[in-house]
A = this chain, B = another copy of it.
Amino acid sequence: MEWIEVPDEGLKLRDIRRITKRDQAETAGIREQVENIIAAVQEQGDAAVREMTQKFDGIWVENFLVSADEIDEAVTYVGENFIKILEEARDNIQQYHERQKQETWIDTFRDGVRLGAKYTPIQRVGVYVPGGTAAYPSTVLMDTIPAHVAGVPSIAVFTPPGKDGKVNPYILAAARIAGATEIYKIGGAQGIAAAAYGTETVSPVFKIVGPGNAYVAMAKQLVFGTVGIDMIAGPSEVGILADETSNPAWIAADLLAQAEHDRRAAVFLVTPNAALAGAVEAEIERQMEELPRKDIIADSIKNYGKIFITKDRKQAIDIMNLIAPEHLEIDFAEPESYVEHIINAGAIFIGAYTPEPVGDYFAGPNHTLPTMGTAAFSSPLGVYDFVKRSSVLEYNQQAFVQIADKVAQFADVEGLQAHGMAVRRRMK
């Protein structure tokens, strides 16, 4: 890991952006290919989806919709023990997200003036779930449950079939448990296109959420506007605030857990204690050897592992607020007392017994979090992402008369005479 001695006067946003910068994913040449896939699905519907599934997933799928029998089979395969774990995770996630529900309100602001906000769930959403070597049932839970809690009446999962034409059983089980209403064996850019524009068998959705490879990410960007999308997630990261009370083996284990996600994952240790930092680094070297994904970990740690040595805890927090990490662990003594000073972080994990994996799977808050410093201006996925607000306005005649002339003068200043006329006609 690279060591950065923070000077007494601290660092600036510009410095932090340079230090924490990561390489861009390679996307050259993808755009045109994805545009063609989307155009084909728009024009030829199911036929194009079948052809592309053959081409990219290596299997001809006649019926995309996963049957109830297939889901039953998956649930049996997954087994009672893990189904119970999924259900407990679902209950925790659901309970936390219930707190995010917002109620429609309409109030009288002045005599004859009623204003409000009407909340309505998005009527149909698509959840993209990657296939491939690793299946992430946790992603199915985290993307589907908030939509379910929001009251979205129709939640369609899109995921690529394996070469045997089947979907990973953990994904199917998680989708049922989370409350998905349909599951389609359609992956890649063709899955995003089918969700956005619809085909003979797929009704179009209004919003698409969920992670995916570069093709999926590009397709989401291209259909944005026709449908809503969640954020295009960057590679993951963790920042840990530690001091002399921290256990170096645990800190190292948490940094390694983050690093195993991706060669472009980043890990930040920010501490006023250089001895602790040294001990953590030694532990990383030792623990890494035991881990199956050590090649990925080694790349991530080498390129994007940073240790900031600060003059004190306060400066450590200032640095962390500039980093704005996706995951932030506070492992200072009396960790709760620092929460109020955290300005930028996707999720805040307090104390030694709240390692980041607790939040990935089980605790309840969403694991879809803003990455790459975007926590400075954006938020975790939540129920908020699956409802929309309509403003509500009502003036009666008397209240209208009182303001009409001011509204008309405003329109005059802006040079919009028809706006003024719409008001003045009602005064005659």
Contact = CB atoms under 8 A, between A and B. Distances in A.
A206 interface: yes
A406 B85 contact: yes
Contacts of A390: 328, 342, 344-348, 375, 379-380
A93 to B, nearest CB: 11
A159 interface: no
A393 interface: yes
A391 B347 CA distance: 4
A393 B228 contact: no
A263 to B, nearest CB: 14
Given A361-B411, A388-B379, A391-B366, A109 B123 contact: no
Contacts of A253: 418, 421-422, 425
Contacts of A395: 351, 353-354, 358, 363
B354 A400 contact: yes
A55 interface: no
A4 interface: no
A292 interface: yes
Contacts of A358: 393, 395, 400, 403, 407, 423
Interface residues of A, number: 127
Instruction: Give 7 closest A-B pairs by Cβ, nearest first.
Output: A228-B377, A365-B391, A350-B394, A353-B400, A347-B391, A379-B389, A253-B422
Residue among A291, A343, A421 facing the most chain B CB atoms (10 A cut-off) = A421
Interface stretch (A59-67, A179-187, A254-262): A254-262
A417 interface: yes
A365 B88 CA distance: 41
A191 interface: no
